[in-house]
Structure 1
Amino acid sequence: MEREQIMKAPKHPSTQPRLFQVIDMEERVPPHHILRQINEAVDVSVIHDWVAPLYTEKTGRPAADPERLLRLMLLSYLFDHSERELYEILPVHAGYLWFCGLDVESVLHPDPHHPTLPDRTTLVKTRKRWRQHGIFDRLMTYVVDPCIAAGLVSPDVHAAADGTQVRANASIHRLREVKLAPVEPLEDYLARTAREDE
């Protein structure tokens, strides 16, 4: 029985990427990705109207796009990234870039005539300002109220659990009953976070 002949691969001194590449950001995000689902379920463009009174139209430097800032804040919160981590990951994560309406070129070679990534300090200062003016309270109500109306969330839930898988050194034979803490109503949560911000 003869062995199959395989030609030896040529030796390349280095990997040379293509000089020009066309990347369709829309194709890079799978249809069922969580960011695509959030993008379809929540209209975050309402942020423009909410924050309009916080800015002036005649003086000062141009503000960063509030919708892009909100999307960056959502990424940071949803995926548990600090601003520093987010800005390190963003240039190499197609899904994050797509969610923020950016592409690889806009991050690597910013152009004032195209959408750009706001400076990290702008993100931090904006988050503080929006918190002081109750923008996040409005956002929470804006997202949760339709969920309550659709029957997805009950306003009087006293326990909650998620499907996060956690690796643990545990045995099924040594289970103990867990007492669940009550989930606070939306109004109580917003009041508590307002006190913490002060």
Structure 2
Amino acid sequence: MLRSNRDKQQNYELVSIEDLVPADHLLRKVDKYIDFIFIDEKVRHLYSQDNGRPAIDPLVLFKMIFLGYFYGIRSERQLEREVQTNLAYRWFLGLGLTDRVPDHTTISWNRRTRFKDTTVFQDIFDEIVLQAVSHRMIGGRVLISD
């Protein structure tokens, strides 16, 4: 008998992103060995603590930017689209299936305005590289950065 899967798009299912991301996915290894929590301390002084609208969690913002570099996604607009549809990316960022993905304009604004004239990107990159080297995730003899 011929079956149709067309009606399944309207089903409600109890699912966990944790169960949908393969155990051997590369981002699971990154998550296991790289502790991104240091980002909060690096950027705290750049955020207002007592006024304005609530900001996007800096951890989510920088992990999104990390995904862009890690997977060669050069456009912030494309990065937003990729995170919307890729379950592994959502898992890595700590976003649920129905959580709103940060808008590409928010990423751009933070990069061009909040973090302008700071070394925060370089500092975060350096720390990630140091952690990766210490866990033998990457190797190499020379690292040159501007």
Specify the TM-score bucket, using the shorter chain as the normaliser: 0.7 to 0.9
Greater C-alpha radius of gyration: 1
SS at match of 2:105: helix
Shift of 1:93: 1.2
TM-score (norm 1): 0.63
Gaps of 5+ in 2: none
Gaps of 5+ in 1: 1-7, 108-116, 158-184, 191-198
1:67 aligns with 2:59: yes
Shift of 1:132: 2.5
**Which amino acid in structure 2 is aligned with residue 15 of structure 1?**
R
1:99 aligns with 2:95: no
**Percent identity of equivalent pairs:** 27
**Which amino acid in structure 2 is aligned with residue 132 of structure 1?**
D
CA separation of 1:88 and 1:45: change in aligned 2, threshold 3 A: same
**Which amino acid in structure 1 is aligned with residue 80 of structure 2?**
Y
Number of aligned residue pairs: 142
Shift of 1:84: 1.4
RMSD of aligned Cα (Å): 2.3
Higher helix fraction (1 or 2): 2
2:80–2:103 contact (8 Å) kept in structure 1: no
1:25 aligns with 2:17: yes
Structure 1, 79-88 or 47-56: larger mean CA deviation? 79-88
- In the aligned structure 2, how far is the partner of 1:54 from the partner of 1:71? 17
> Could you say which structure has the greater relative contact order, defined with CA pairs below 8 angstroms and 6 or more residues apart?
2
1:123 aligns with 2:115: no
